[in-house]
Chains A and B, each alone.
Chain A
Amino acid sequence: MNNKWEASMASLSVGEQFAEKVKDNARKDRIRRLMPIILLVVMTAIGAITQKNFFSARNLVNILYQMSIPLVISVSLMFVLLLGSIDLSIEGVMGFAGSFTAFLVQNRTNNNNFGIFGIILVLLICTCVGAITGFIHTKGRIASFITTYAVGQIMTGVAVLVYNSTPIAVTEPAFVTISQSRLFGIPYLTLIAFAIFAVGAIILNFTAFGRAVYAIGDNETAAASTGINVQRTKIKVFALSALMAGSAGVLMCIRLKLGQSSIGLNQMFPVVTAIVLGGGSLYGGKGGALCSFVGVLVYTELTNWLTLMGVDTYLRGVIQGIIIIVAVTLTIERTRKTISK
Chain B
Amino acid sequence: MKKSLVALLAAGALAVSAFSMAAFAEAELPEDIGEYHLGICVLSLDNEYWAQEAAAAQLAAEAYGVESEILTCNSDPNVQLQGMKDFIAQYGDKACFVVDPATTANTASIAELCEESGNYVTILAHRAEGLFPKDYPHFVVSLMLDDLANGAKTAGALFEAIGGEGQVVEITGLLGDDSATNRHAAFEAALADYPDIEVVDSQTASWDQSQAMTLTENWLVQYPDLKAIFTSGDAMALGAIEAMANYGVSLPIVGCDGTKAALEAIQNGTLTATILNDAYNIAGYGAAYAIQAACGMLDPTSIPDDERLIFAGTQLVTADNVDEIYEGWIVNGNPGYDYFDLDFTVDHYQDPSK
Q: Which residues in A have some Cβ–Cβ distance to B below 8 Å? A: 51, 53, 56, 58-59, 62, 65-66, 108, 156, 160-161, 164-167, 169, 176, 179-180, 187, 252, 255-258, 261-263, 265-266, 303-304, 307-308, 310, 313-314, 316-317
Contact = CB atoms under 8 A, between A and B. Distances in A.
Contacts of B246: 65, 179-180, 187
A256 B238 contact: yes
Q: Is the interface of B mostly helix, strand, loop or mixed?
A: helix
A21 B1 CA distance: 63
B222 A255 contact: no
Nearest to A60: B221
Nearest to B176: A314
Contacts of B172: 313
Contacts, number: 101
B23 interface: no
A328 B45 CA distance: 39
Contact of B264 (A59, A169, A304): A169
A265 B208 contact: yes
Contacts of A255: 210, 213, 242
B258 to A, nearest CB: 12
B219 A307 contact: yes
Interface in B204-235: 204, 208-210, 213-215, 217-222
B238 A165 contact: no
Most buried by A among B2, B48, B52, B209: B209
B319 interface: no
Given A179-B246, A256-B239, A258-B238, A167 B45 contact: no
A217 B52 CA distance: 48
A307 B2 contact: no
B33 to A, nearest CB: 29
Given A108-B264, A313-B172, A313-B204, A165 B48 contact: yes
A181 to B, nearest CB: 10
A270 B201 CA distance: 24
Contacts of B219: 307
Greatest chain B CB density within 10 A among A165, A252, A266 is at: A165
B261 A167 contact: yes
A261 B46 contact: yes
Which 7 A/B pairs are nearest by Cβ-Cβ distance?
Answer: A165-B51, A307-B218, A160-B46, A169-B261, A58-B221, A59-B221, A313-B203
A307 B261 contact: no
B16 interface: no
User: For the side of the interface on B, what is the size category?
Assistant: 35 or more
Nearest to B216: A307
Contacts of A317: 175
Contact of B5 (A56, A161, A262): A161
Contacts of A167: 48, 259-261
A252 B47 CA distance: 19
A263 B209 contact: yes
A165 B2 CA distance: 9
A95 to B, nearest CB: 9
A304 B200 CA distance: 16
Nearest to A169: B261
Given A161-B2, A252-B210, A255-B210, A308 B238 contact: no
A160 B219 CA distance: 32
A157 B118 CA distance: 35
B250 interface: no
A266 B214 CA distance: 14
A316 B203 contact: yes
B245 interface: yes
B245 A180 contact: yes
A169 B46 CA distance: 16
Contact of B46 (A156, A179, A307, A313): A156
B202 to A, nearest CB: 6
B79 interface: no
11 contacts: A108-B264, A161-B5, A165-B6, A165-B47, A167-B261, A176-B245, A256-B239, A256-B242, A261-B46, A308-B221, A313-B204
Contact of A314 (B175, B210, B217): B175
A50 B149 CA distance: 40
A271 B214 CA distance: 16
Most chain-B CB neighbours within 10 Å: which of A176, A257, A261? Answer: A257
Contacts of A51: 222
B175 A53 contact: no
B222 A307 contact: yes
A300 B320 CA distance: 41
A109 B201 CA distance: 35
A53 B221 contact: yes
Contacts of B242: 179, 255-257
A180 B242 CA distance: 10
A263 B210 contact: yes
A160 B204 contact: no
A66 B219 CA distance: 13
A62 B203 contact: no
Contacts of B259: 166-167
Contact of A66 (B9, B46, B51, B214): B214
Contacts of B2: 160-161
B238 to A, nearest CB: 6
B209 A258 contact: yes
